[in-house]
Structure 1
Amino acid sequence: MSQSPFIQPSDNATITAADTGHVFHSWSAQGALAPLPIASGSGVKVWDFDGKEYLDFSSQLVNVNIGYQHPAVVTAIQEQAARLATIGPAYANDARAKAAQKILEHAPEGFHKIFFTNGGADAIENAIRMARLHTGRDKVISRYRSYHGNTGAAIVATGDWRRIPNEYATGHVHVFGPYPYRSNFWATTPEEDSARALEHLERTVVAEGPSSIAAILLEAIPGTAGVIMPTAEYMQGAREIATRYGIMLIIDEVMAGFGRTGKWLAHEHFGITPDLITFAKGVNSGYVPAGGVMISDPIAKTFDDRVFPGGLTYSGHPLAMASIVATIEAMESEGIVENAATIGETVIGPRLEAMAERLDVIGEVRGVGVFWAMELVADPATKEPLPAAEMGAIKKALMDHGLLPFIADNRIHVVPPCVITADEAETGLAIIEKVLSER
């Protein structure tokens, strides 16, 4: 057995060596990794083991909505651990019941049940299972520009490259959704793009056979794919198509939910009511792994006298449940969701729009709340994406200036915690503008 390489005090080089020597990382070729070591965090800032401070404009994986080390959430986890650290899902537990109640206070009318999972991917798995069993149908329609998780059905429902080496699940069909900046429908306006995307969706439903389709699965706002803002007309049209053909509408709120867009749930922007809603990430900012499915009453009733063939050992784990309750209560009492809306409207949105006017490298900015993306281009006329090598250089420069970015393809995602102040947001945006101006 090799000796542990950890020493006290630890430093970046030691921690990195220990990590890459023993930890197998997601979505990576392992031999070339050099992950940034993070020692601690507070609010919207983190520090590495050498003491360098970073302003976090990534929220890690767009999930630390309440910021790092929120004292109320940390205390709730500690108190629950001291009282009851774990209990199986077959037992009734006060933390689990209260977490369900707190979530449902922010659900649409007609939702009275929560199925808890360990995260977003298995929330998608179980929502798909519920839709299939409720309808007696098999197929699921989702979008090409989407990400729904890295488990069997969730990864095949996903629309990006990660689906391709993992296509083992069956019954999945993909469509193109609206994306006015790079329209697949030769559209010249967002309204035209949405109308044609809806026609494409309905034609796919008809071609596949409506009686074979269990669900239409849509991210409320596609996040990893680029914070692609749908119009209310598109989302309402998708709801109407689903209703007309007896198809369940599953809205994935894993990334967009719980304050990220300046609403408790992002689908509220569009005036729709889904049949199933998946959540994770922001519900407790990832302090303890947790996710779940909000189940509308008709679907929940299906399983009153019929066994639901699904379950998880850690479904509704009490430490996660305590963190959910404390997170939602803190968001309510501290106006965190409202802060996200205000920062987006008064700081991030206007600042990014002004930046795009000055810098040709910014092809488009789009977003809402603290959920934004800047699409970077080599040529604003052709919209040719900025090459990966240049994106890598931009990422390094941002980090050198003390900003922790979220970079995806040719985009910088501006996704800080929902608790960010106007001054902190301005500091981060100024770093981005400086780096892009000097590239």
Structure 2
Amino acid sequence: MSMSSEEMISTCLEHTMFSWAASGTVSPLPIARAQGVYLYTPEGQKILDFNSQLMSVNVGHSHPKIVEAIKQAADGLIYVYPGAATEARARLSKRLAQLCPGDIDCFFFTLGGAESNENAIKAARLYTGRPKILSSYRSYHGATNACMQLTGDPRRIHNEPGGPGYVHVMPPWPYDYSFGADEDQITANHLRYLDEVIMYEGPDQIAAMFVETVVGTNGILPPPRGWMQGLRALLDKHGILLVCDEVMCGWGRTGKLFAVEHYGVVPDILTMAKGLTSSTVPLGAMGVRRAIADHFREHVFWGGLTYNAHAFACSIALAAVDVLVDEGMVDNAAKLEPVMRSEMDRLRDKHPSVRGGRCIGLFGMIDIQRNAAGDSIAPYDGTHPAMQRLAAFFRDEGLFTFVRWGSFMCNPPLCITEAQLREGFEIIDRGLDITDEAFEG
């Protein structure tokens, strides 16, 4: 007999721990099934998934072609040790080599984004012989120990101290960013600053710089104009590798298969997960350019995982990639970007508490202000009662998304229709009356 919502919640709270939370304070959402862009509670409440769960269910829930692939894969080879060659491993790596930018054509398979970044740290250090890694304060790269040190957001602080060699730099956009600013000047200033940091840290000591091609949970921030191209040139000047973390922004989320395609840049290492399988099974990958792959043909790569290149997971990834590409979901994300932007603009014009919104593809965020000066309604790493009420309203009205600090996410599955997208913004529209009440004028 299936559990009720109450039974699910009470049992999970009693016997499991929850991410980034004191378990005694959480109120988990009970989900019995999911289909397309909707989730359903055991009692049948329909919830629009406006965040693709963790920005990861890119093709939507329970896609029939992926479900069928799972059934077929279960009748085939499920697991062998990582030293074996399998058809699924061969086919997936060949497919990724065809799809990834430039000469990124060799892959180390993991079980998720953090493991992909963890192994990218190892690969960069082993390849260059250098110890230091640069990353941005405005970033998130995963919850393993090393990736927590890469990460710049407040979650890092509670996981310190970590290992040596991690250097954080300011992001190109200031925290109190303004998209009306002179992007060319912002780019020039930041690259000059970054070159100075590299000088101080010793260019011959820095293995790589990790960047989220489009910053994810810390703002949904595409880089300012020309910055990615300038960064590529700066790092090349010093022999420093560029690692693009596309765990969140890859696989169609931005309206391109990979976000770097917007900027005409090929990173030395590309990390991915989430949309690689649309979160149907755990799988991630670190993709490297040919020169790095050739290096590890002659030198040991000192990394290993029991589930590296897991045969079952590789089979499902093939199906998920085919669905994403063949059914035009990347194009759909690009097509619906102006719809999302127009909805965000409409809400800004209607609600005094809306500072503004931004999106690239179906990767979006809306910021809430407490006054006409544009001050955020909540401090950095903080909250506000109105934001808590807004989150509760979304949940009660059947909209799933993340409310964080003074902002909330707009990242639906890439299969969403225009009507479903507007359905989500209609709920948001009604909810923003709550934050308008807290607007100070």
TM-score interval, smaller chain: over 0.9
Letter in 2 for 1:155: M
Letter in 1 for 2:376: E
- Coordinate RMSD, CA, aligned: 1.6
Q: 1:230 aligns with which of 223, 229, 234?
A: 223
Deviates more, 1:238-247 or 1:72-81: 72-81
Q: 2:394 aligns with which of 394, 398, 407?
A: 398
Q: 2:235 aligns with which of 202, 227, 242?
A: 242
CA contact (8 A) 2:133 2:209 kept: yes
Q: 1:180 to 1:161 in 2, by over 3 A?
A: closer
- Residue 191 of structure 1 deviates from its aligned partner by 2.8
Q: How does 1:131-280 map to 2 (within 5 A)?
A: 131-167=124-160, 168-179=162-173, 182-183=176-177, 188-280=181-273
Q: 2:276 aligns with which of 283, 291, 306?
A: 283
- Residue 181 of structure 1 deviates from its aligned partner by 6.7
Deviates more, 1:235-244 or 1:353-362: 353-362
Structure 2 equivalent of residue 334 of structure 1: 327
User: Aligned equivalents of 1:181 and 1:354: distance in 2?
Assistant: 24
User: Aligned equivalents of 1:183 and 1:63: distance in 2?
Assistant: 26
User: Aligned equivalents of 2:337 and 2:219: distance in 1?
Assistant: 17
CA contact (8 A) 2:184 2:225 kept: no
User: Aligned equivalents of 2:56 and 2:424: distance in 1?
Assistant: 18
Q: Deviations over 1:78-128 (max 9, x none)?
A: 111111121111100001111112222211121221110110001001111
Q: Deviations over 1:9-56 (max 9, x none)?
A: 421101100100101111111111210111000000000111100000
Secondary structure of residue in 2 paired with 1:115: strand
Structure 1 equivalent of residue 404 of structure 2: 408
CA contact (8 A) 2:51 2:401 kept: yes
Contiguous gaps of at least 5 residues in structure 1: 1-7
Q: Deviations over 1:317-373 (max 9, x none)?
A: 12211111001111222101101111112x111111221122221112112111001
Q: 2:26 aligns with which of 33, 41, 53?
A: 33
Q: 2:83 aligns with which of 82, 85, 90?
A: 90
Q: How does 1:349-388 map to 2 (within 5 A)?
A: 349-386=341-378, 387-388=383-384
Give TM-score, length-normalised by structure 1. 0.95
User: Aligned equivalents of 1:152 and 1:438: distance in 2?
Assistant: 39
CA contact (8 A) 1:180 1:188 kept: no
- Residue 183 of structure 1 deviates from its aligned partner by 4.2
User: Aligned equivalents of 1:66 and 1:278: distance in 2?
Assistant: 19
Secondary structure of residue in 2 paired with 1:105: helix
User: Aligned equivalents of 1:131 and 1:303: distance in 2?
Assistant: 11
Letter in 1 for 2:425: L
- Residue 180 of structure 1 deviates from its aligned partner by 5.5
Percent identity reads 37
User: Aligned equivalents of 1:315 and 1:49: distance in 2?
Assistant: 35
CA contact (8 A) 2:183 2:225 kept: no
Letter in 1 for 2:171: G
User: Aligned equivalents of 1:382 and 1:344: distance in 2?
Assistant: 25
CA contact (8 A) 1:231 1:270 kept: no
Q: 1:76 aligns with which of 69, 75, 92?
A: 69
- Residue 303 of structure 1 deviates from its aligned partner by 1.0
Letter in 2 for 1:391: M
Q: Does 1:437 align with 2:423?
A: no
Secondary structure of residue in 1 paired with 2:297: coil
User: Aligned equivalents of 1:9 and 1:311: distance in 2?
Assistant: 39
Structure 2 equivalent of residue 3 of structure 1: none
Letter in 2 for 1:432: I
Structure 2 equivalent of residue 4 of structure 1: none
Q: Deviations over 1:200-223 (max 9, x none)?
A: 211111111100000010001010
CA contact (8 A) 2:376 2:406 kept: no
Structure 2 equivalent of residue 343 of structure 1: 336
Deviates more, 1:280-289 or 1:159-168: 159-168
User: Aligned equivalents of 1:390 and 1:194: distance in 2?
Assistant: 35
Structure 2 equivalent of residue 99 of structure 1: 92
Q: Does 1:310 align with 2:303?
A: yes
CA contact (8 A) 1:181 1:364 kept: no
Q: Deviations over 1:130-173 (max 9, x none)?
A: 11111110111100000000112111000011111223121000
Structure 1 equivalent of residue 47 of structure 2: 54
User: Aligned equivalents of 2:269 and 2:384: distance in 1?
Assistant: 37
Letter in 1 for 2:99: H
User: Aligned equivalents of 1:372 and 1:422: distance in 2?
Assistant: 15
Structure 2 equivalent of residue 417 of structure 1: 413
Give every structure 1 segment of 4 or more consecutive aligned residues whose post-TM-superposition deviation is greater than 4 Å.
none
Structure 2 equivalent of residue 125 of structure 1: 118
User: Aligned equivalents of 1:211 and 1:47: distance in 2?
Assistant: 54
User: Aligned equivalents of 2:374 and 2:259: distance in 1?
Assistant: 32
- Residue 389 of structure 1 deviates from its aligned partner by 1.9
CA contact (8 A) 1:72 1:330 kept: yes
Q: 1:385 to 1:191 in 2, by over 3 A?
A: farther
Structure 2 equivalent of residue 11 of structure 1: 4
